[in-house]
Structure 1
């Protein structure tokens, strides 16, 4: 997934609003200056460059605030691929909560953003299916956590009516289910050929301490822990919580629905 430009969407709106306020204030000041008595004596600070400097300092403060928010509270991302369909649609834009794991570890079912172990300049968004100490195994595309097969409930194709997509110019076809993982319940998609490209089997492992095991919701079209192993918790950037610009179907706006 991609970061949005250097400020979050919310901070950018605030910055634009600040610029508009500065422009209005400047116009108002100019108007009042024309009405000022001609015998008014200019002060040391009544110089054009002083006002320009003031504006630049104020704008710099806005940018600094937005960067602080991005580093510590929320960060905006755009998803260019379909590996987490149907929960996340290509070109969805969402906010990651960077405070989510300050005092706790990810839980099964969480949708997390983390640094790609194979390319540290890239971020991934995937679903946590197992946590430290769990065993996980995949047999014929069925997931087993602690030797228990995760229950699936088939959903009608109509749930995809407003978010149908194409991948490499071909319609993405497949079956959609709810997967139940402990207290978590989320949608998964099993793509049919030619988009069925992921391994349907994975040998049993125990998730090591300070790690979690992740899978894409689009199980047959995702690069995840089946390829690069469990994810180190220290590389997690946050939990994907809110869609602020859905690529399709604006009823999805707001908290991400599993």
Structure 2
């Protein structure tokens, strides 16, 4: 090959005989493979997060002090969506549910009244189904300040919710739509994950 043809043609590496373009192209493959691998990992993580949040867990921030001292203002909690797929909500459970007066909002309260029960609030104490013994509520922040007596009749397939900080809780006692339908209860709260120094089970 003449010197002129070499000058006009593709530069050739003298040791390997391969063009610089070929070497450059092959040198980019590891980077491209790494990018593709990371994209696959991110896509898989996004799919897993979607499945978890849609079918298995729910998370919520509690913006007020209505559940103190069980859950403090701005605590973040995780609930199990599966808990109520296989069993009914129970009295004493802390639940994440759609607020009956505005279903675009999610509330966190404790289940007090079950379907078909009556709930009476007399002198700051809660009575279920006309019992002479008030409901045992060791989770309350403080005793409820007595107001006028209240009487509620929980419909079938619905629940009556109250906050643990009774004197500062906007709950079923004051809502326009008093009761939470069974299918509006999203998850049972199990775990607090924020703040980090208070990570642990919630009961």
* Structure 2 length-normalised TM: 0.77
Q: What SS class does the counterpart of residue 189 from structure 1 fall into? A: coil
Contact 1:142/1:150 (<8 A) preserved: no
Q: What SS class does the counterpart of residue 148 from structure 1 fall into? A: coil
Runs of 4+ in 1 over 4 A off after TM superposition: 37-43, 47-51
Contact 1:202/1:226 (<8 A) preserved: no
Among candidates 167, 171, 187, match of residue 220 of structure 1: 167
Compare CA radii of gyration and give the structure with the larger one: 2
Q: What SS class does the counterpart of residue 113 from structure 1 fall into? A: strand
Give the deviation of 1:51 after TM superposition: 4.2
Contact 2:124/2:143 (<8 A) preserved: no
Measured in 2, the distance between the counterparts of 1:216 and 1:83 equals: 5
Measured in 2, the distance between the counterparts of 1:189 and 1:54 equals: 51
Measured in 2, the distance between the counterparts of 1:72 and 1:95 equals: 13
Measured in 2, the distance between the counterparts of 1:108 and 1:72 equals: 23
Give the deviation of 1:80 after TM superposition: 1.7
Among candidates 106, 125, 141, match of residue 189 of structure 1: 141
Sort the Cα spacing of 1:70 and 1:136 in 2 relative to 1 into closer, same or farther, 3 A. same
1:211 paired to 2:143: no
| Structure 2: gaps spanning 5 or more residues | 1-15
Among candidates 166, 186, 189, match of residue 240 of structure 1: 189
Give the deviation of 1:38 after TM superposition: 10
- Aligned length, in residue pairs: 182
Give the deviation of 1:149 after TM superposition: 4.9
1:231 paired to 2:177: no
Sort the Cα spacing of 1:211 and 1:51 in 2 relative to 1 into closer, same or farther, 3 A. same
Measured in 1, the distance between the counterparts of 2:40 and 2:17 equals: 30
Contact 1:109/1:186 (<8 A) preserved: no
Measured in 2, the distance between the counterparts of 1:96 and 1:225 equals: 21
> 2:96 — aligned with what?
113
1:66 paired to 2:49: yes
Give the deviation of 1:47 after TM superposition: 7.0
Measured in 2, the distance between the counterparts of 1:142 and 1:205 equals: 14
Measured in 2, the distance between the counterparts of 1:106 and 1:202 equals: 26
Q: State how 1:33-182 maps to structure 2 within 5 Å.
A: 46=29, 48-49=31-32, 51-149=34-132, 151=134, 180=136
Q: Indicate the structure with greater strand content.
A: 1
1:253 paired to 2:199: yes
Measured in 1, the distance between the counterparts of 2:88 and 2:186 equals: 12
